[in-house]
Amino acid sequence: MLTLLKLLKDGRFHSGQALGAQLGISRSAVWKQLQKLQAEMNLPIHKVRGRGYKLASPVDLLDPEGVSESCYPVHIYEIVDSTNAEAFRQINKGVSAPFVISAEQQSAGRGRRGRHWISPFGQNVYYSLVLRVDGGLRQLEALSLVVGLAVLNTLKGFDVMTAGLKWPNDILVCDKKIAGILLELVGDPADVCHVVVGIGINVNMTTAAGVGQPWTSMSLETGKMFARNEVITALSMRLKEYLKSHAITGFSSFHDEWEKNHVWQGREVSLMAGLHQVDGVVIGVDQQGALRLRVNDELKTYSGGELSLRLRHDS
C-alpha cells in the first residue's frame, strides 16, 4: 500500500491501468488498495472517469535519505502506536543512544497527562529523541523548557515568527497550539537513565477532527507547505545545539531567553494539580525552570510533571 502511495504522492492523476502495470496487479486490485488507503490513512482520493485517480493534495513522505543524520541516527516508520513507545522498545532492545524515532502516523499518539495527540498520516512531525544520561541530574534540570526553546527556534527558522512558549512545554501561536513536548524517563536519574524527548509539530495539517483545544500549523500560519524531512533535520540540529549547552551550564544560561519568549508572562492563570486549583498571575520562571506565580500578593513557585496551566476566564 505504501508503494501505491508513493506513486500518487505528487497529487496528479494516474490511470488505473498505469498504476496496475507499475504494481503488477489488476485495475480492480488497484481500486481495492485505493479504498484501503483512503480508509486506513484518511487520505481523500479523487476518481475522475478518463483521467484516473489522484490524492486530494500532494503528500510529502518521510525519506531516510532526505533526513540528515549528521546530528542523530534517524529511524523512520510508516505507522507506530507512538514514537515515544517505539523509542522505549528500542531502548529495551539495547539500541545505543542517542537516536531518533519518527513516523508518518501514530495510532495512539499521546501528550502530557495522558491526552491523545491527533496524528494524521503524512502531515506533521512525530519525533522522539532518545538520550542517555549518566549520573547528571543537572542535565534533567528544566530540560523540557530548553527543548521548547529549540523547537521554537526551529519554527522561526521556517518563518513562523509569532510562535511563543507556554510553561512548561507547549509552543503556541496566538494561544493556539502548534507544537508540544512530552518527556519520559526510564532508569535511575542519579545513576544511568534514558530520557525520551517526544515532540509533535503541526506542519502541513489544515483540518483535523477531535482536537480538544485551539490549534494551528506551520502551513496555516505561513500559507506554505513544508518538506517534513527538512523540518526534522532542522529540529535535530537545534536540539543538538541547545542540549550541548544545557549539559554544560544547566538552565541558568537560557533563563532570560525563555522568559522573553513566554507568551503568558503577566497573564492571569489557573494552575491545576489534580483536583487542586491555584489562581494567580505569571511572574516567570526561576533559575531551575519552576513556574513563579503571584498568588494573593505572595510569590509562590511550582514545579512538577502533573501540573497544568490554563488562562483564567476573566484574564
| Residue range 35-89, pLDDT digits in tens | 888 888 778 889 898 899 998 878 888 988 878 777 899 999 999 999 999 999 9
Q: What is the pLDDT of residues 92-131, one digit of tens each?
A: 999 999 999 999 999 887 765 556 677 888 899 999 999 9
The residues annotated with a catalytic role in the active site are 112, 177, 310
Model confidence at 315: pLDDT above 50: no
May I ask the CATH architecture of the domain 2-55? Orthogonal Bundle (1.10)
Q: Is there a shared CATH topology between the 2-55 domain and the 74-259 domain? A: no
Spell out the residues 6+ positions from residue 65 whose beta carbon is closer than 8 angstroms to its own. none
Residue 292 labelled as part of a binding site:
no
Q: What is the pLDDT of residues 181-223, one digit of tens each?
A: 999 999 888 888 999 999 999 999 888 766 767 999 999 999 9
pLDDT at 90: 97
Q: What is the pLDDT of residues 123-176, one digit of tens each?
A: 999 999 999 998 766 778 899 999 999 999 999 999 999 999 999 999 999 999
When pLDDT is cut at 50, 70 and 90, the band that residue 289 belongs to is: very high
CATH 2.30.30.100 fits 264-311, yes or no: yes
What is the rounded average pLDDT of the residues 300-315?
A: 80
Residue 112 labelled as part of a binding site:
yes
74-259 CATH, one of 1.20.1260.10, 3.40.50.2300, 3.30.930.10, 3.30.450.20 = 3.30.930.10
pLDDT at 293: 96
Residue 82 labelled as part of a binding site:
yes
When pLDDT is cut at 50, 70 and 90, the band that residue 312 belongs to is: confident
Residue 315 labelled as part of a binding site:
no
- Give the start-to-end residue ranges of the domains of the chain: 2-55, 74-259, 264-311
